Structure 1
Amino acid sequence: MHRLFAALPVPDLIAERVLGLSEDLPGARWRQRDHLHITLHFYGEVHHDTAEEIANRLEAIRCEPLELELSGVGWFGRKAPHNLHALIAENPALTALAKDCRKIARTLGLKLEDRPFKPHITLAYCKDTPLDMVRHWSETFQTLRSNPFLADTFHLYESFTSKHRQSQYVPQADYALEGGS
């Protein structure tokens, strides 16, 4: 089985910027540099043949390079935060790319998540982190912005979990963003 997702890598300059948002929050497990990405679609656990089919279909996606920007911070888990993240400003081309990645999952009969696409970079996973502390963190960094940065490639990543329950995200295929649909 392969645990797969399609995502954009985060450039070093942006990674440095968002890694600086970590604070001492109880229950927050801050992500390391090699975990930073912008998920386009999570495919989940799939068999080898399905993994190959996903990789082949991703190759057919056509999209111009994307100009993206950081636009504040947020969290998932309204009253019980479980994910702190940096937000990516709305971008119709990015949304269309994510939709194309999702369409592959639907075509292959894979289970789809119910929540809408919200582009972000996960910064920390939380467990029992007090809501008031998360609100304070969010208020502190809500003004986070960046100059536009270029995304000209995306990857099909495989997620591995080590015996120490540490995850590793390894690109299995690269896809250039170089042409419109």
Structure 2
Amino acid sequence: MRFMSNIVVPHIWCVYIQEYDKELVESFSRQAGITSVSHIKDFTRTHFLNITIPYQGMRLFLAITLPKEYAHAISRIPLTPFAGKRVEEENYHINLHFFGEVADEKPIIKTLETISFKAFPLEIKGFSEFPSKQHPRVVFLGVFSPFLLELHKKIVSALHLSEDRPYTPHLTLMRVSKTNTKLAQAFFKTPFHAPFLVSCFSLFKSTLTPQGPRYSVVKHFCAH
């Protein structure tokens, strides 16, 4: 296993990692000789935590981005029935596949370059939620296109991927912590329709920061 040495991790990072990556915070605890997350918080209120962090590779995923005018319009949709963490406009995307930590992206890129597809129409249509309207944890917009489903099948087949759940394309709007049920009932009935033409999908790198995830394009793959 590769390591990065002498990394300085401030308190805000420890809190962020506690919320988003249990394995990392456990690794921090073991290597720093700290036995609990609360001890990490106490220690880092007045100190930086100098530890050796296992090399994690890159967090990669495949997605389709929105036209800028659509992303801007969606960012202005009021989500008043819900409290929680809203996805930032620049992070809007339609999911294709999440790889997680990848040590070497080159084989993935090489395989994706062999996939042939034509530009296709796609519809963003209707508000929905995971796991239920009574207790939503994620609010999203539905995504509909038989051509998108076909592209997903090509990607899964080419990369020999295994997926533990059916593919449900969607556009995440918010991760919800609290809901006004009465207002939410009306919200989910609100019509929304945004068709556009998809000509590319992209491989993204996700970087975790104290302010939230930041996405950057590794490579675009366009219709041909």
**Gap runs ≥5 in structure 1:** none
1:173 aligns with 2:219: yes
- Give the structure 2 partner of residue 23 of structure 1: 79
1:153 to 176, 200, 206: 200
Give TM-score scaled by structure 1 length.
0.82
Q: CA deviation at 1:24?
A: 2.8
Contact 2:82–2:184, Cα closer than 8 Å, also in 1? no
- Give the structure 2 partner of residue 114 of structure 1: 164
| C-alpha distance after superposition, 1:40-89 (max 9, x if no partner) | 111111222xx221111111111101111221111111243121111122
CA distance in 1, matches of 2:94, 2:61: 10
Q: How many residues align?
A: 167
Q: CA deviation at 1:30?
A: 1.3
CA distance in 2, matches of 1:82, 1:120: 14
Of all paired residues, the percent bearing the same amino acid is: 26
Contact 2:81–2:181, Cα closer than 8 Å, also in 1? no
CA shift in 2, pair 1:165/1:102, >3 Å: farther
Question: Which aligned pairs between 1:57-68 and structure 2 lie closer than 5 A?
Answer: 57-68=111-122
CA distance in 2, matches of 1:102, 1:135: 36
CA distance in 2, matches of 1:69, 1:83: 20
Task: Return the letter of the residue paired with 2:223.
Answer: L
1:93 aligns with 2:147: yes
Task: Return the letter of the residue paired with 2:137.
Answer: H
Of structures 1 and 2, the larger Rg is shown by: 2
Structure 1 residue matching 2:193: 3-state secondary structure: coil
- Give the structure 1 partner of residue 22 of structure 2: none
Q: CA deviation at 1:29?
A: 1.4
Structure 2 residue matching 1:16: 3-state secondary structure: helix
Contact 2:127–2:188, Cα closer than 8 Å, also in 1? yes
Give TM-score scaled by structure 2 length.
0.68
Where relative contact order (Cα < 8 A, 6+ residues apart) is larger, the structure is 1
CA shift in 2, pair 1:93/1:16, >3 Å: same
- Give the structure 1 partner of residue 179 of structure 2: 129
| Stretch of structure 1 that moved more, 52-61 or 77-86 | 77-86
In angstroms, what is the RMSD of aligned CA positions? 1.9
Structure 2 residue matching 1:127: 3-state secondary structure: strand
Task: Return the letter of the residue paired with 1:100.
Answer: K
1:42 to 83, 87, 98: 98
Structure 1 residue matching 2:64: 3-state secondary structure: strand
CA distance in 1, matches of 2:216, 2:109: 14
Task: Return the letter of the residue paired with 1:37.
Answer: H
**Gap runs ≥5 in structure 2:** 1-56
